[in-house]
Structure 1
Amino acid sequence: MASLGMEGNRCFLGWRLTCVFGSNRFFSASRDKTVLMWDLHGKVDPAQKFLGHHLIVTGLAVSPDCTQLLTGSRDNTLCKWDVESGQCVQSAAISRNLVTHLCWVPGESYVVQTSEDKVIRVWDTRGLQVSQALPMKQYIQMHCDVSADGNYCLTCSNGFGGQGCESTLWDLRQTRDKVCEYKGHTQTTASCVFLPAGTWGSPVLATSSHDCTVKVWEQSTGACLSNLFLDGAGPLSSLAACETSSILCASFKSGIHSLQMDSSQAPALQEVLSF
């Protein structure tokens, strides 16, 4: 893999990253309002640039076939891009829709979006219109994820002192009300992800928080199965599910932590590496 040059520093100092499984391409959104596409086995320079947002780009979602890219920004705008040409083919703006995250629904033309206005929107990318909105939450929604089967959406909120700080499960097939809530963090829950099926025995999800903890939850009951405190890591900013028993956790103060499930007794997370 070619090592990224000075311009490539944007990738690591940027606001968001996303990739497509089975592809060598990944995308980075930077504080300089640009979005770049990189080839893991290509040149040092970015393979494509996407220019057009007026403020920080805070959401990235790429279609499963890697032909379309959807971006969201603090400029209240979503843009749909043609990946090959780098051209914006459509845009839509909603007042006060300060995007916090985007997630493509597997196998569908829909994208879920969270926002600082506390509304969770589901966009139809074919016409770049809101197809439905989930019931508004009391606190800002910071992050979202969609299950592998495309049926469920997970969001999480900001908060302090245990107020807010929850994650919420929604059924995208009927969006009248939440399915389950996961409460236990004492500060903003910054990231939430579905974990691959298998190792845990039942459907599970994970959350990370500014309170320096990572929690694993049973999806159906909301029971907390494991709680790991990363001492000295500072606020935890994001999670990525890897293998069935492996999770990557990014922190503000101590880089990235690799976590694994220890199944020798009860299911529990343990840190195995940091970098």
Structure 2
Amino acid sequence: MGDCCSKEKTRSDADQLGQGRGKELSGTANQAPDMIKTYGPIHSEAVVSLAAIQSGLCLSGSKDRSVALYDYHNHRLEDKWTGHEREVTKVCYGRNCGGLFSASRDKSVRMWHRGSPSPVQTFTGHDLVVTALDLSNDNLLLCTGSRDNTVRLWDVEKGECLLENNIHRNLVTDVKFIPQLSSLVQTGEDKQVRIFETKNLLVTHTFPKKQYIQMCCDVSKDGNYCLTCSNGFGGNGCEATLYDLRTMSIVHEYKGHREAIESCIFLPFNGQNLIATASRDCSVRIWDRDTKECVADTSISGSGPLTSLICYDDSSICVSSFHMGIFQLQLSLANGTLWPVARF
């Protein structure tokens, strides 16, 4: 399996992912702006994680134990993989290696390739559910986190665990590599946000403990900022927190959600400093990073908890849900509106 993540792959691989023979899904024909076009669904149970590939292509993982690649521009199920023994918890995409990665409650991570029904690599070693998953920019390293209190670094090509850090009561919820640096951010149920050095997987900084469990994190493309989000209920907690990774300090908190925030991302739209959050309160909010103002939001009735967010340069956003699959959202900053246009 030494060539499963060959360096010869290029960015064009992302384009090729959308050129295969897919299954076209039927949908409604209503063009009214206040109606949501419905296709699929592509999963039979809650969708818990999304990964962006390119505009129009969405990778998803579900409690139905499957991983799906969907073309939401042409409403086609491009590929689907099964093989995990328990539900999928996280997915991510390797742009350089062309690998599609999935973590599961079966304690494993698997790497898939388009057109191949079987995993091309399997990463095993965690003792409990794998809850966090991310790839380094060059796709050579895979970072995983688990409820077994460990963070692990893996050689993607060989499938070997290179480093492991076990911290008492550190039930990991999310990990993200920091671009331009040999570091990564990790959040956990111990309410801590930690920075690790990837060369030795030692903790180099721990931010002051938050009041609530830290659910998720994201890092800006320039590597200057980190965003984390809190558990909570009834408006207590439920905030997003912006950290400056240069000064290792808190910059802002964003408050407005009524329930725990499950996902947060930095938005790449037109050079504007925006972030997005998705919550168990069934809402997505768009925030001005610098003023803390909520510039747009939408609530999706009946969706259940919203679980994962991805975004694209064309201002489209996808959000996954417990009860209603995946929604494609459209953002208009000129009008300050965010609305769902399709569901699949």
For this structure pair, what is the TM-score category when the shorter chain's length is used for normalisation?
over 0.9
Q: Aligned-residue CA RMSD in angstroms?
A: 1.6
Partner of 1:182: 254
Contact preservation (8 Å) 1:8, 1:44: no
Partner of 1:117: 190
How do residues 28-177 of structure 1 correspond to structure 2 at under 5 angstroms?
A: 28-40=102-114, 42-175=115-248, 177=249
Q: Tell me if 1:236 matches 2:306.
A: yes
Q: TM-score, with normalisation over the residues of structure 1?
A: 0.93
% same residue: 47
Per-residue deviation, residues 129-154 of structure 1 (Å, max 9, x unmatched): 11111121111100000001000000
Partner of 1:7: 83
1:251 Cα offset (Å): 0.4
Structure 2 CA distance for aligned equivalents of residues 256 and 97 of structure 1: 30
Per-residue deviation, residues 34-89 of structure 1 (Å, max 9, x unmatched): 1001112x421011000100000001111111111111100001111111111112
Please, which runs of 5 or more residues in structure 2 have no aligned partner?
Answer: 1-19, 21-77
Larger RCO, structures 1/2 (Cα 8 Å, 6+ apart): 2
Structure 2 CA distance for aligned equivalents of residues 272 and 210 of structure 1: 20
1:244 Cα offset (Å): 4.0
Partner of 1:191: 263
Contact preservation (8 Å) 1:81, 1:87: yes
Partner of 2:337: 268
Report the residue type matching 1:80 in the other structure. L
Contact preservation (8 Å) 1:114, 1:142: yes
Contact preservation (8 Å) 2:269, 2:313: no
Partner of 1:254: 324
Contact preservation (8 Å) 1:61, 1:111: no
Aligned length: 268
Report the residue type matching 1:99 in the other structure. V
Contact preservation (8 Å) 1:195, 1:244: no
Q: 1:100 to 1:220 in 2, by over 3 A?
A: same
Q: TM-score, with normalisation over the residues of structure 2?
A: 0.75
List 4+ stretches of structure 1 deviating above 4 A.
Answer: none
Structure 1 CA distance for aligned equivalents of residues 286 and 121 of structure 2: 37
Report the residue type matching 2:282 in the other structure. C
Structure 1 CA distance for aligned equivalents of residues 293 and 200 of structure 2: 39
Per-residue deviation, residues 182-230 of structure 1 (Å, max 9, x unmatched): 10000111111000030xx630000011100000000001000011010
SS of corresponding position for 1:179: strand
Partner of 2:54: none
Contact preservation (8 Å) 1:14, 1:31: yes
1:22 Cα offset (Å): 4.4
Report the residue type matching 2:276 in the other structure. A
SS of corresponding position for 1:100: strand
Contact preservation (8 Å) 1:3, 1:44: no
